A and B are shown apart, each in its own frame.
Chain A
Amino acid sequence: DAGITQSPRHKVTETGTPVTLRCHQTENHRYMYWYRQDPGHGLRLIHYSYGVKDTDKGEVSDGYSVSRSKTEDFLLTLESATSSQTSVYFCAISTTSLLFFGPGTRLTVL
């Protein structure tokens, strides 16, 4: 257990509304990541952070923003949710060459 929690675990929202997902870690890891998992696409990197206030884009960053004001928290925001953002979102931290994933947030955009 890498001490990663995600909230909420499930969310249903409507198109056009803002949504923020939270990832919290307890072990002071520098690197944090947001991935999304979709059938037929596997796990794709959205954004990552390499320190407080240091973030960068991943493979599928359009429509998402992130913030990291504290080492332990990494927030993913959908400014105006779309149906294509219906997915399962995983936060991860890295240690050496491994990623450890949180339990995921299932987001449905109607």
Chain B
Amino acid sequence: DQQVKQNSPSLSVQEGRISILNCDYTNSMFDYFLWYKKYPAEGPTFLISISSIKDKNEDGRFTVFLNKSAKHLSLHIVPSQPGDSAVYFCAASVVNQAGTALIFGKGTTLSVSS
């Protein structure tokens, strides 16, 4: 059973508008959440994260919101730019013997048109 779900495989947005990518999780033990961005033929790169003790974290054009009661987080990109076109993975962190084990969603492909 999927513990981290990204139910929208793709999202298309016009340049300058807001992009909202959503993620749901099922395990209330997760204490840290991350978003990774992936361009074709490259490895995923860290974008932004949020601790479970916060409900918002902002970094420039990127903001992540966490709603613990709903087990839901979202990534907002404002304003969206064509260079933001990529696959975005939501991930939840569990610290165990594996160190930082990240459980990933299936990803959302964002396309930003100019």
Listed in ascending order, the chain A residues whose CB lies under 8 Å from chain B are: 4, 30-31, 33, 35, 40-45, 48, 50, 56, 58, 90, 92, 94, 96-104
Report B52 CB to chain A, min CB distance, Å. Answer: 12
Q: A43-B89, A101-B43, A101-B45 are in contact. Are A31 and B100 (CB under 8 A)?
A: yes
Listed in ascending order, the chain B residues whose CB lies under 8 Å from chain A are: 6, 9, 32, 34, 41-46, 49, 89, 91, 93, 95, 97-107
Chain B hits for A99, CB < 8 A: 46, 100, 102
**Most chain B beta-carbon contacts within 10 A, residue among A33, A58, A98:** A98
Q: A42-B104, A42-B105, A42-B107 are in contact. Are A31 and B98 (CB under 8 A)?
A: yes
- Main secondary structure, interface of B, reads strand
Report B61 CB to chain A, min CB distance, Å. Answer: 20
Report A27 CB to chain B, min CB distance, Å. Answer: 15
Chain A hits for B41, CB < 8 A: 103-104
Inter-chain contact A48/B44, CB cutoff 8 Å: no
Report A11 CB to chain B, min CB distance, Å. Answer: 15
Chain A hits for B42, CB < 8 A: 103-104
Chain A hits for B102, CB < 8 A: 43, 45, 99
**Most chain A beta-carbon contacts within 10 A, residue among B49, B100, B107:** B100
Inter-chain contact B44/A43, CB cutoff 8 Å: yes
Report A59 CB to chain B, min CB distance, Å. Answer: 8
